[in-house]
Amino acid sequence: MKIYKHSVGYTVHIENNAVIERNAPKKFLKILFLVVVISEVFVAPSAGNTVFKKTHATSLASPWRQNKTSRSVIECTRFCIGISWCTTLSYRTSLKECLLYDLDHIAMHLIDDITSDVYSYNKSDISASNSESNAHPGWTLAFRGTPGIGDDVFQAWVNGTNVTTTDTECMALTPNTCAHHYRNPIVDSWELLDVQQVMFEMYSEIHGTKNLIFDAQGSTITSWFSESRITNSSWNATKQRPFYGWFSMQGSNPFTFLVCGRLFPCGCDELYTMVVNNKESCADISGKPHPQFYFATEDVYGVIWVDGFFKNERMASADLIAIFIKHNALENRP
């Protein structure tokens, strides 16, 4: 299924091999009429296959069987998933209008304009938000942080700054040549996803994996990272109440995603997790390009700091960090 742009028009290929051209005779326009479309293709974190297609269109005309008023694209998606004949949906944000179609797979791709407020999806492609991670069945990869690329991890997670949503290399849970942080687009709809749990994980091929699991019910994109929400942890001390010291996603510049008993300007002497986003004063702990990720390799805390000399006990740098979520956005069918 492809769309080719020509100087005289656009050629659209769809499943039944029919060809539609913008300047073609009307008999070829019975299936679908498109004016100014742009699509973004998202890829499943685990399988690496295209599973989600988001399309903006200023005009989309094709047979439809039902329209509904819905609060969001996600709710419109639930309607379509819960109806057997629905194969395609469109959602107009300005009118909160959900249109449910009975057409077979519609192919749409990049043309020119991005000013529209219409989002269209093929039902068979609406699985990105539920695509499971091979490493953690039942969990969806929401974010992968890449070390040494120069981009702030906190800003990438919260605001989507300089992230990729499509590069499959950046979704892999192994070190590779990825040059970006990966952020799943569904993160932008956090409040609508009905997120139940979040897992924050540090990966090292040499030192293994450590994680924190949080109860995320009723949380925001940042508030889930809290000591009061921990349900499971690789470090027993972090399960104790209260956990004294720093437990903060925003942390203290340049440290973020910080779990630290006693924080100093140049490090922490009771450290569990730390992201160093940039080089400031003596915060250049590793001498490596930033960001860098650190975690305690044993059940107890580690020590990492710089004070005229470098001290590192029971600590390791992670090859990458990942955030997984469990949510009910597509399970709550109407």
Which residue, chain included where needed, has tokens 């498109």?
34
Q: What angle do CA 5, 7, 8 make, to 5 degrees?
A: 95
Q: What is the pLDDT of residue 192?
A: 79
Report whether pLDDT(165) > 70.
yes
Q: What mean pLDDT do residues 236-261 have?
A: 80
Domains of the chain (ranges; CATH) run 3-130 (3.50.4.10), 132-334 (no CATH)
Mean pLDDT across the chain: 71
The residue type found at 118 is V
Is pTM beyond 0.85 here?
no
Q: What percent of the chain has pLDDT over 70?
A: 63
Per DSSP, what are the bridge partners of residue 143? 183, 323
Mind listing the pLDDT tens digit for each residue in 144-154? 999 999 999 99
Would you say 273 and 202 are in contact if contact means Cβ atoms under 8 Å apart?
yes
If residue 79 lies in a helix (H) or strand (E), which one and from where to where? helix 73-81
Q: What is 214-281 written as a DSSP string?
A: EE-TT--TTTTS-GGGEEEESSGGGGSSSPPSEEESS-BTTEEEEEESSEETTEEEEEEEEEE-S--T
Q: What mean pLDDT do residues 38-59 have?
A: 34
